[in-house]
Structure 1
Amino acid sequence: MARLSEIEIRESPLTYTNQRSWSFHRTGHHVRELLRYHLGRGYELDGSAKFSVIFGPRPENEKPLNTVLGVTWCYIEDFDVEDYMLRPVEVQQESILTELTKALLEAANTVGSDTAAITDAANAVRESGFAEEITIDKLARTTEDRKLRVRVYRCLGPRVGEYWEAKVFDSDNAVLGNEPMTACPHYLNYTDRFSKSTIGEALYQITSNRTGAIEYTLNLSPYLDNR
């Protein structure tokens, strides 16, 4: 059974239009990513790698819950997106989390998967205050002389969406600088793009395992005098 790797939220095709000044899916990006994070890497939902939750009315030819080619989608039909967009952010994120949790539980129950993991993950998101700074340990690197260390953080929250930053530390673990890796706010999952890191005397780089492309470069020269 495939592990669940992505939770997606989107608006029903019956109500969606690109002629608006706002974007629905952005308001829930941090919620779905936090929920996916707290489910853990090994969680198996119903055999699908992707779970798509669609908010709004369901087309007549669509089933409320269906799986095709490793993707499961679930319609949340009793949901008014335009009314939702008028609500405070605190109400929005709780609403999204509640609906995602119910949809995941429905899918899990169809195959007898672990439902406690879903409720535990949802509770963890609430306890975090819907915002976390997640350390990406695999991307941490230390210079050969061990005087500088770079750590990478994935920040999720209502104000930043998904913002990545690198922090440079000295040998005493004091922060020398914070370096932005993405725009802020930002609403794309970069965990696949930021795959592997290397460090030299004056250069820290991140590459993508999928494409081999250099995705991020940090010049360490300004920090060398602080060693």
Structure 2
Amino acid sequence: MIDKTMASLDLALGAIGDGAAVMIGGFGTAGMPDELIDALIARNVGDLTIINNNAGNGETGVAALIKAGRVRKIICSFPRQSDSHHFDAAYRAGTIELELVPQGNLAARIQAAGAGLGAIFTPTGYGTMLAEGKETRTIGGKNYVLEHPIYADFALIKAHKGDRWGNLVYRKTARNFGPIMAMAAKTTIAQVSEIVPLGTLDPEVIVTPGIFVQHVVEVAPTRFDPAT
């Protein structure tokens, strides 16, 4: 019997060790798997490479990981905002490395990893500092930059409901990066508000099939999510 449900957050995260590359879903705070992140901090692993839309908000989520000194490198598209003070402090101190990726390129590179593509050509970034040192090509009279897929050892994502096979459905904008990150990671760990009996989810509305998910853990919502 296939059963990917985990009894606790700690058990779900058990394979993550120092130096892992970890994708974390969420667009700002919408769809951020806060409880998984808190449990990761509690496990005391470090030297992590984090792939996320931004570099954290306030005191929770990715910001808390950075504050705890667990992040060696972050790959994101929006590192600075009014409450990104923990990233700012770490970056100025030289304790965190930043790879800045335009948001469309970030999504496309993650998608490329999930689709098994070797690389992609994109016009975004051509002629800017972001293209320095990268291969460029003119295709159909338009200039492009070669970008490589972004893979991860683990993806931590948040979904609305899941079943024991790992099939997932999302709620509104909390969906964001979750589906493509699930495809691009070796191991996907999903926190859901409810684990439902097998067959309950309408196959027509399942966004992430269970083949892309290795662990599912039920977490009662404790924080406000603007997507819910």
Normalised-by-shorter TM-score class = under 0.3
Please report the TM-score for the alignment, with normalisation by the length of structure 2. 0.25
Higher share of residues assigned strand: 1
